[in-house]
């Protein structure tokens, strides 16, 4: 195999590697978008949970509070 053949093989390999890197970059970007969307959903769930826990028990259960007799 001559020098020209080895150079051609090296250039072909680099081009293939570049294509793989570009595809991987696209996949990583798509995964990042999915992660950001999931993060937003978790934040909304946490907020709803905090709001639910901040309400008095009476408001959540519709049961009247017991009166304390001293």
More confident residue, 43 or 63: 43
Cα–Cα dist 24/27, whole Å: 5
- pTM value is 0.57
Q: Tell me how far apart the 2 most distant CA atoms of the chain are, in Å.
A: 103
At 64 the pLDDT is 64
**Where in the chain are the domains?**
25-56
In the predicted structure, residue 58 carries a pLDDT above the cut 90: no
User: 58 near 64, Cβ under 8 Å?
Assistant: yes
pLDDT tens-digit readout, 12-56: 999 999 999 999 999 999 999 999 999 999 999 999 999 988 877
At 68 the pLDDT is 63
Please enumerate in sequence order all residues whose Cβ is within 8 A of that of 57, keeping only pairs 6 or more positions apart, or say none.
63
Mean pLDDT of 1-15: 92
Please enumerate in sequence order all residues whose Cβ is within 8 A of that of 58, keeping only pairs 6 or more positions apart, or say none.
64, 65
Nearest by Cα to 19 from 8, 31, 11 = 11
């Amino acid at each position: 195999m001559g020098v020209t053949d080895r150079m051609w093989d090296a250039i072909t390999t680099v081009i293939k590697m570049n294509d793989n890197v570009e595809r991987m970059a696209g996949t990583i970007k798509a995964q990042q978008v999915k992660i950001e969307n999931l993060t937003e959903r978790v934040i909304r769930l946490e907020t709803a949970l905090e709001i639910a826990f901040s309400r008095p028990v009476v408001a959540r259960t519709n049961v009247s509070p017991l009166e304390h007799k001293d």
